[in-house]
Every structure is written in C-alpha cells, then in structure tokens.
Structure 1
Amino acid sequence: MKGRGCWETASVRSFCSSGCLNKFKKDDSGDDEESSTSPADKSELQHTLKNLSLKLDDLSTCNDLIAKHGAALQRSLNELDSLKIPSESGEKLKVVNERATLFRITSNAMINACRDFLELAEIHSRKWQRALQYEQEQRVHLEETIEQLAKQHNSLERAFRSGPGWPANPSKSFSEGSFLTPKGEDSEEDEDTEYFDAMEDSTSFITVITETNEDRKDEGGNSTCGTVDWTTADNVSEVLDGASLVPRGSYKVKRRARIPDKPNYSLNLWSIMKNCIGRELSRIPMPVNFNEPLSMLQRLTEDLEYHHLLDKAVHCSSSVEQMCLVAAFSVSSYSTTVHRIAKPFNPMLGETFELDRLEDMGLRSLCEQVSHHPPSAAHYAFSKHGWSLWQEITIASKFRGKYISIMPLGAIHLEFQASGNHYVWRKSTSTVHNIIVGKLWIDQSGDIEIVNHKTNDRCQVKFVPYSYFSKEAARKVTGVVSDSQGKAHYVLSGSWDEQMECSKIVQSSPSSPSSDGKQKTVYQTLPAKLLWRKYPLPENAENMYYFSELALTLNEPESGVAPTDSRLRPDQRLMEEGRWDQANTEKQRLEEKQRLSRRRRLEICAPGRSCGTEEAEKESDGYVPLWFEKRLDPLTRETAYVYKGGYWESKEKQDWHMCPNIF
C-alpha cells in the first residue's frame, strides 16, 4: 500500500505540474495575446472556447485527485497511530502526523481555492462567450451596414448627376475624388483609421503663452506637446520676419494660366483595384482616368515652388535661423498635394524633365527616371542665389483595400555654397483614404529629422495624422530646432497645407511629472513669426486638377528641351487636351515599347546566368542613365544617383544625339 500510495502521489504531482497547470498557464497567456485581436471568424471563436473548457476540465480532475489522495493519506496515518509501536517510533510518528495535518490544511485551502476558481471561471466563461458572440454579431451587422451605405452612396451619386443643375464638368463628385476638408466638413474615417504614437524616447514640451486668450496645442519633433502660451519679447531676426512675404513679380516670359478643363469621365476605382490589394502600385496597369496630366518628374519639380524660402535662408547669419527656413521649405512641398489625389504618370525609363527658369525663379532643375522597377527618379537643382538641392527618390506604394500608402524612399540634400551648411532629410508617408466608400482625401504622417551636417543642428518635424476621434487640428505640423548641444532654440507650428510659423525660445524648464510619469519641457517663447504661407490656387483650379500656378506651366510646350522631356510625352499631352480614349491607347503603346526595350537588354545576360528573378533582371538590365551616375553618399553611406553634368551644355549646343527614343 505504501508503494502504491507513493506512485499515485508522484503521478498526481507529475500530472498537475507538467499537465493541467502548465497547460492552463500556457493557454491563459495565449488567450491574453489574442484578447487584443478578436477571433477572425466563428470557427476560431468556437475553437478557443473549446480549449478553455478542456483546460477547466483538467483543473477539475486535478482537484478531485488531490482530494482523493489526501483522504487516503489521512486514513493511512490514522491506521499507523492505532498500532502498538515503540516510544521512539511514536515520537517520529507524531512528527509525521503534525506534518500531515499541515499538509491536510494546505491541501484543503488549495482545494477550496480551486473550487472557487472553477466556479468563477465557469461563470465568467459564459459571460465572455456571450460578449464575444455579441461582438461578432455587431461586426457582421457593421459589414452589412457599410455595404448598404456603399450601394446608397452610388445611387445618390447617380441621382445627383442626373438631377437639374448638375454642371457639365463636375469637380467635386465622389467618383472624381474631391478632397474632404476636415475643417469644413466631417471626416468619413472608418474602422481603418490609423493611429501613430509618438516615439517613446522623444522629448515632450509645453510652450507657455501669456498674450492671447486662445489656447493652442502644439507638438514638437517626435513628441507629444501640451498647451502653448506665448510671452511678449523682442522680435525675431529680420531674416525670419516676413520671410514668406516675397513678391511674386511679373515674369519676362509670359506663362500660361490655364489648361483645358478636366472631362467628366465616370469610372469606378474599386472595380479596377479590388483584385490588386497588396500589390505594388507602380505594377498595376492603370488607365489615364486616374492620372493627372503631369509626370512624377514634374511633381518632383513642384517641390521647388517655394524656392524663395531657400533664397531667404542664404542670408541667414545664424544656422538655427536658417534651419527654420529649411524646415518650412521641407513642409511647403506637401501643400500641393492637399487636393491632388490623382496619380501622376509613371515616367518612362530615361524620361527627363527640365525647368529652366533662371530669369524669373533664379534656378535650373533637371530630373531623370533612372530606374523603372522600382520606380526611381534623380533630381538636381541649383540657384543663382547660392544653393543647390539634389535627391534620388524611389516610390514604394501599396494598395491596402481602403487606402493607398505612398512611401518615398531616399535622402534629400540641400547645400548653401557661402556657408557650407549641408542639410539632409527624408520625406514623410502619404496616404490616400476612402478608396471604397466616401470622398477620397490625402493625409501626411510620420516624423522627419533635418540635420545640418556641418554644425550638427537638428530639427525634429512631426506630421500629425488626422483622425476623426482626435482633438488635433487637421494636417497639423510641429517641430523643434536644436543646436549641436541639444539646446532648443525655436518651436515650429502650423499645417502642411496652409502655413508655418516659428517662435524663438527664451527660457526652458522641466515641468512636474504627469499622471503617466512622463516629464515635459516648458518653453517660454517670443511671439510667433510667419515663415511660409501657401499661395492661393488659380481661378477655376477645381476644373484643372487643382493645379497651382507653377503646376499649370510645367507641361507647357517649350522649344529646345531634350527629346526625352515629359512635355513631349504623347499620352500625357492627349490627356491634358481632354482626349482620354486616345491617351489610353497611346499609353498602352508606350508601355509595350518600354517592355520590348527591356527584353532586348535582358538578352545580353551572361551565358549560364538565370535572368528569371527580379534581382537578376535588375543586375543584368544594363541600363545606364544619361545625366546621373551612382555614387556613395559620404553622409548617409548609401549609394544614390548624382548629377554628373553635361545636360545644360548639350541644350546650349542643341546636341541630343545620345538621347534614347522612348516616345
């Protein structure tokens, strides 16, 4: 009996430790992990509940075994106590009895706790099951409601189009994707709303205001900021004061101020893209109906629209003041995107675009498409005022079903010749929302860091993503400019579609810790100064793809440009003229011509080398850009295409014999 009891006790211990209890702990932790994301479907829900029920049965079995063997142990001890044994053995038996009594008390306590746990678990498991079932029913109901809303939306749109007073060239229809301005209308964000948390290691700040009764909320760099107050003090540097108030003088060369109105073509975006979820956007064959009559090279050139900020920055004696203007310039490039939800044309490999505006803008710019997969463009611009800018941007884009994410990859370089200040930064992520239901609208999000590699000054800029549930203003941008020692000098605030301001910091001090234990920095600042303000759109812009004054001139025919220039692209020209059917036919011809050229280059693969993979194709493509060459960037330690010269000399001689025939 003694041997049998020991074996059974060992079996119970083994079963409870390695079996039911460990499994229960494992399942419990796994259940916690799944609580944040509800089961995908009903079968998964039932499977989870079944596993929970099995583990509860295991625990109940363990409870019964402990009670059974505990009672058997007590009976054995009582039998030993009734036997006649020597006194010495009696003392030892007394000690065993005392230990057995302690074991009985502990076991009873554990058994009672297990019983209570079982009762609670059974009660709450039923509650959880009902709650999960309710959430599943609500989810199904929500999906049905969204589907009904989509059908009602299409019906209302058709009824609205056929109703009296509908203009011949509607500019704000849902199908054409007019931008929803959250300041004037309610946002139609749905369950796919994305939330971006500030980085954990960021420095939060609070700026203190005393001159105004309006409370402003501000965020800087990668941080979360609180209420902003402003104190009265002296003015900021004259270079920053009124930096955006640059007169837009008359041009010696008269540029066009309008293009043909956009035709009223009705096309269902979802019907084309529903089978392309998760694919690279550049690989999806898209009709020109979703384009605007500009190429990606021309859109890249639009970044220079507010070049006067850099012209102003040349005269800054302080590097941190210059950083403020550079930061405003980096934000200003997004102002052209607020209503521009249409897709620019993907440039042909070897396509170029020049902007020769030395007389009126004081700069020259050249872009070249240096790679097709992935689509990559190199850009170089220089100004007679003493700065140059270059970048290689690769567009990575994904269609996610209800929104499209566009991630520009690559560094932007800006150098001022007189001071030698060299700034480097990267672009933020753009997202086009409401692909399925509602009005299309675009948002910018993410954090960018601008670094002056000569002085090590830095500016942390945060693009706050808009959310229907957020109290923040739409399209908000904030930032902090710091020197090489980490001392903050300026606070930036504004929006990427309207204007940016800067405020000089005169004093900073730590605040008391908040409820979550985080400590913010309190900044006392001078009154805000305007750095940049967006130019108003031209009259009738809503019928001209919401182009700015500069954008209207980018595709204007011009003599003397290279035969690869975007202005000479036939499908783009036909689309601008409103002949979209012919433009789609021409677009297919150009794309097939480009594929044929690629196949010819791939035929020169080395013998025995497989060109079936994308990496091998890219390596053996054999294409070499005309005006840019790949070099190692000493600052970012990345290889990028940099302008090697020769274009403007060829233009002056009108010698374009080296240009490929791509159109």
Structure 2
Amino acid sequence: PNRHNDSGDETPVPQEDRALTQGALHSLATKLEDLSTCNELIGKHGAALQRSLSELEDLRGPTEGTDKVKAVNERATLFRITSNAMINACRDFLDVAESHSRRWQKALHYEREQRHHLEETIEQLAKQHNSLERAWRENPTSYTGETSLDENEEAEFFDAMEDAPSFITVTTTGNIRHKGSSYVKYIYIFCYLKDTSGTNQMQLRRTRRSRIPDKPNYSLNLWSIMKNCIGKDLSKIPMPVNFNEPLSMLQRLTEDLEYSELLDRAARCDSSLDQMCLVAAFSVSSYSTTVHRTAKPFNPLLGETYELDRLEEYGYRSISEQVSHHPPAAAHHVASERGWTLWQHITIDSKFRGKYISVMPLGNIHLQFHSSGNHYVWSKVTSTVHNIIVGKLWIDQSGDIDIVNTTTKDTCRLKFSPYSYFSREIPRKVTGVVEDGEGTAHYILSGTWDDKMESAKIVESSRGCGGSEGKQKTVYQTLQPKLLWKKYPLPDNAENMHYFSALALTLNEPEEGVAPTDSRLRPDQRLMEVGLWDEANIEKQRLEDHQRMERKRREAQANQSTCRQDVESYQPVWFEKRTDENTGESSYMYRGGYWEAKERQDWSHCPEIF
C-alpha cells in the first residue's frame, strides 16, 4: 500500500538547511533566556535601590546618613551593571535576528510566489471549467456519443490517443535544428552503426559508452497534460516523449542488476541468514538510481524485447519481453554463471492523484541460488512522484518489502519510511529485521535506499516499554554494523544526461545481432536520445498506430475463428505462463531458446513491431 504523508507536495528540506535553521532558533532562544535573566536582575536590584532611596529620605543623623549613602551607591552600581548586561543582551539578540532575517525573508518570498502560482493555476482551472460548462450548455448533443476511459474498460489504450488525427502538439523553446526525414534516418543509422564496426583484433572486454547526448532544455507544463487525467491509469494517458527518458520499461527492469555483485557474494555464503542480508541489500539497491529520475520510461510495445549480455564482465545474461499491453506487463529472466538465477513477472499499476503520481509494481521477484537451492521471493514497494502541480518534482519510495526464503523459511521485512517534513528521521530511511524460520531475530538492517545498507548482528534482545498502542518494543543489542552495499557515484555530467547511472548509460547502446524487437532498435526512443524530440513524437505515434492495427487484425481473426479465441490471445515468443511451485501464482516464465536463436541469427518467430 502507498503510505502517503500529509506533507503532500512539500519538497524535502536539505539536512544542511534544517541544521542551520535549528541552530539559529537555538541561538535566539539562548539570547532570549539571557534577556529574561537580565530583566529579573534589573527588577531585583531596582527594587533594592528604591528601598535605599526611601530610607535615605528618612535620615536622622550624620552617621546614619553616611551608611545609607554608601548602601545607595552599592545598589546603584549593581543596577548600572545589570542594565549594561541587559543592553548587551539586547544587542546580541538583535545581531542574531538580523543575521538570519535575510534567509527568512527569502523563504517567505518563495512561499508567497508558490502561493501566487497555485492561485493562478486554480484560477485557470476555474476558467476552463466555466468555458466547458458553457460549451456543453450551448450544444449538449455533441457530447452524448463520447465514452470516458473509465466507462469503456474493453477499449485498447496507447500512449497516443486512440483515434486522434495527430499527436499532442507542445510548444517548445529548444534550439534544436529540425532536419528532413532523410537526415533523421541518417542520424539513426549512424548512431546504430557507430559502435558496431569492430576490428579484427581480439579484445578481452568491450569498452562501453560513458555518455549520451545532453538532454535538450525544453519548457513544458506537465499540469497542462495531466489536469484531465486525475484518478486514471497512466498507461491510458496520452503522453509526449517530453516526459520520458530514453529508456524503455524493459531496460528499467534490467537496471535492477546494477549491483549484481551482491548476488555473486550471496551465492558464496554458507549461512542462509548472511545470504538473506545480501539479498535484502540487493532489493534496496534497485531504487538507488531513482532518486533523481522523475521522468517516465517508454511503455514497451507488445512483443518488444530487451537483452543484456554481460557474461564477460559480470557473468550474467538477461532477457525480458513485453507479454501484455493492457494491462502493461513484462517478464524478465536472468541467468548467472556465478551461481544464481533471477526471474520476475511485473505488471505496472499507475495512478494520477492530482498532486502526485503513484506507481505500484504488482508481481513477485524470484531468486534461486544453484548450490544451496535457496529460493527467495519478494515484491516491490510503491513509488510516488510529488509536486505535479507546483514545485520541483521529487520521488519517494514507501511501503514494506517482505522477503521470504521458501526453502528455509527465513524472512526479512524491510520498511521504507515515507518522507515527512516534520519527521526527525533521516530521509529515505530503510530498516529491517532478519529472522530465521522459528521467528528468532539475527540481524538488524538499516540505511537509506539512495545511499547504503548496513547489517548488525544481534547478540541479545529484550522487551522494552513505550511502544505504540500499548505494545512493547523489542530492544536489540547488536555488534558494530557492517557495510553491505554502497551506491556508486553518478558519472560526470549526469544531471544533463537524465541522471543516468554508469549502467543506464550503456543500456540503449547499439548492439550487433540483437533481436529485431529489441528496445535498442525502437526509432522513437533513439530519436529522443539524440535530441530530436518532435521527430520522436511523430515516430511514436506511427509505432502505436501500427500496434493498434495489429490488435484489430487479431480481433478479426478471433471473430472469424470457429474456436472463438479470446481477443487477448497473443502468445509471447520467449516466455510462457506457468504456475509457480512455491507460491502457487500463475506468471510468465522463460521458455528458453533466445540465446540459441541469437547464435543462429534466426529471428523468424519475432513479430514486426518497429
């Protein structure tokens, strides 16, 4: 479930700014306490001075007068000292307040601008609502034949509108020069052939690319696209490539393998509990690249595939395929020579909620180690993109991941704490406990999903007090934590390359001999990568028109068939539906044959989708 916090569209406050603000408030509180103390002393010594003056008026003899004058002088001296201290304390308080007033004025100005922006947005919405209402009143019959997306659940939806005569037009301010179609084809062919012309010399390891063209600076209003889509599935919303990154969802799934060495280490573990710690760290590491990645990956076309062959570098080969388009679902299989196999069947459920977008991956991830036979199962948490209307986009991960070793019954529950403006916790915090099959805790896991994870071995546990809802908290005594995983630094200039990691930069690099359905060969995605976004939008619509025609052709064949097959009778090429022995779930699993077909260069079974 999506644990959405009340902060809504608040941007996370940096730790440094928060510390400075708290320090300033502490300084002001200290100075204010000094002022209060000085005020009490002035009152005390002032009263004593007043009494001495009254006694001085009642003098009766010279001897007594001398003593009284001396006492008055002492009281006056104390009063003067206290008054000077009060003046100095006031000056210090004023200096501290003035030194921080500029920062607070700037923050107040920013909040006023945000409020003004929000008021303008609401005013525009009200005007649009009134104009639509007037249009309906003037000609209500023109609206009677329309069917909403929610009412027509049987319809096929694409990233482009179903029957739109042209793609959504977007006003841009970029300085990209737009060439003719022949130039576009030349750019694409050049990009594809650039790194595939090999030499006769044998190389131990191929050099992968370390950069892509910088992202153009286009000005675009996301709210203008999303305002009519509140509550709807994102896969049913027409979106231009301006909101995409030049990777497909299949490539994003493959990006989970960025830290595959964690699984290599886990395969060498003798203890299943130590192995569980590394598996948990791997499950968290897949979110580390998302902290700056608010753009949407391309929805794969039905039958689209993506392979990643890293046998030489990391000992694994990965193949994924889009097995369903509505709802969008992908199957993924990874085989490693270093002792493990991973597979998953993920369906993406995404909703636009007005202020934020929630993305909920449905389905389980399976991991099996060859030597021990340990089989792990877990699922993903909810991703939320905030500030759709006003402010800077930012992403958060929230929910729980329950990892189960179906062989030994060991478990690990990871809690992804949602960001809260008022929380004192570290942002993006992840905590977890590793337990054996009998429920005994052995390790405490802690860290953040964008930086690192650590494990601490439990040496003693006891029941404490102060838990919520009357429950007792368990207190664990642990050894010093050990580092399980640490995020790699982003490449240089990553902020201009969609914040891609080192692996992500290579995912769309042209490869020789891949299947004709591979995401690397998708022309709209390639055009976007090289900066030709308008051409990419046109190509994107062409691809989806072609997919729409293929679906209608399958429908016609099904209607003519005596068997009356179901409309969604599309059969994936490399995956087939099976029932998992451990979980009992029905999911798409790898049927084999892809790498053999690649070796023969026999792609006769692949559909023509590009």
Please tell me the TM-score bracket, short chain as reference: 0.5 to 0.7
| 1:407 aligned counterpart, secondary structure | strand
Q: Which of 623, 627, 646 is the aligned partner of 2:570?
A: 623
| 1:276 aligned counterpart, secondary structure | coil
Contact 2:174 2:219 in 1 (8 A): no
Mapping of 1:43-442 within 5 angstroms?
A: 148-150=116-118, 252-442=205-395
Give, in whole Å, the separation in 1 of the partners of 2:365 and 2:481. 28
Query: What is the letter of the counterpart of residue 116 of structure 2?
Result: Q
What is residue 543 of structure 2 aligned with on the other side? 590
Give, in whole Å, the separation in 2 of the partners of 1:315 and 1:263. 45
Query: What is the letter of the counterpart of residue 423 of structure 1?
Result: Y
Contact 2:401 2:414 in 1 (8 A): yes
Mean Cα displacement is larger for which, 323-332 or 264-273? Answer: 264-273
Is 1:604 matched with 2:536? Answer: no
By how many angstroms is 1:467 displaced? 1.0
Change over 3 Å in CA distance of 1:605–1:530 after alignment to 2: same
* Matched residue count: 424
Change over 3 Å in CA distance of 1:501–1:362 after alignment to 2: same
| 1:620 aligned counterpart, secondary structure | coil
Contact 1:602 1:622 in 2 (8 A): no
What is residue 649 of structure 1 aligned with on the other side? 596
Is 1:478 matched with 2:478? Answer: no
Give, in whole Å, the separation in 2 of the partners of 1:610 and 1:272. 42
By how many angstroms is 1:167 displaced? 12
Change over 3 Å in CA distance of 1:516–1:456 after alignment to 2: closer
| 1:259 aligned counterpart, secondary structure | coil
Query: What is the letter of the counterpart of residue 148 of structure 1?
Result: H
What is residue 570 of structure 1 aligned with on the other side? 523
By how many angstroms is 1:604 displaced? 2.4
Give, in whole Å, the separation in 1 of the partners of 2:214 and 2:590. 36
Is 1:465 matched with 2:418? Answer: yes
Query: What is the letter of the counterpart of residue 641 of structure 1?
Result: Y
Give, in whole Å, the separation in 2 of the partners of 1:269 and 1:152. 15
By how many angstroms is 1:636 displaced? 1.8
Give, in whole Å, the separation in 1 of the partners of 2:479 and 2:591. 45
Contact 2:174 2:218 in 1 (8 A): no
Query: What is the letter of the counterpart of residue 283 of structure 1?
Result: K
Contact 2:344 2:363 in 1 (8 A): yes
What is residue 607 of structure 2 aligned with on the other side? 660
| 2:312 aligned counterpart, secondary structure | coil
Change over 3 Å in CA distance of 1:491–1:561 after alignment to 2: same
By how many angstroms is 1:622 displaced? 2.1
Q: Which runs of 5+ in 1 are unaligned?
A: 1-142, 155-165, 170-249
| 1:380 aligned counterpart, secondary structure | strand
What is residue 550 of structure 1 aligned with on the other side? 503
Change over 3 Å in CA distance of 1:397–1:145 after alignment to 2: same
TM-score of the superposed pair, with normalisation by structure 2: 0.67
By how many angstroms is 1:252 displaced? 1.0
By how many angstroms is 1:638 displaced? 1.3
Give, in whole Å, the separation in 2 of the partners of 1:251 and 1:588. 42
Give, in whole Å, the separation in 2 of the partners of 1:292 and 1:607. 41
User: What are the Cα deviations for residues 474-506 of structure 1, in whole angstroms up to 9, with x where unaligned?
Assistant: 100000000001000000000000000000000
Query: Root-mean-square deviation (CA), in Å?
Result: 2.4
Query: What is the letter of the counterpart of residue 591 of structure 2?
Result: K
Mapping of 1:37-48 within 5 angstroms?
A: none
Give, in whole Å, the separation in 2 of the partners of 1:508 and 1:602. 62
Contact 1:304 1:333 in 2 (8 A): yes
Give, in whole Å, the separation in 2 of the partners of 1:295 and 1:429. 19
Give, in whole Å, the separation in 2 of the partners of 1:609 and 1:278. 39
Contact 1:251 1:360 in 2 (8 A): no
By how many angstroms is 1:149 displaced? 3.2
By how many angstroms is 1:279 displaced? 1.0
Q: Which runs of 5+ in 2 are unaligned?
A: 1-110, 123-172, 177-202
Give, in whole Å, the separation in 2 of the partners of 1:336 and 1:468. 23
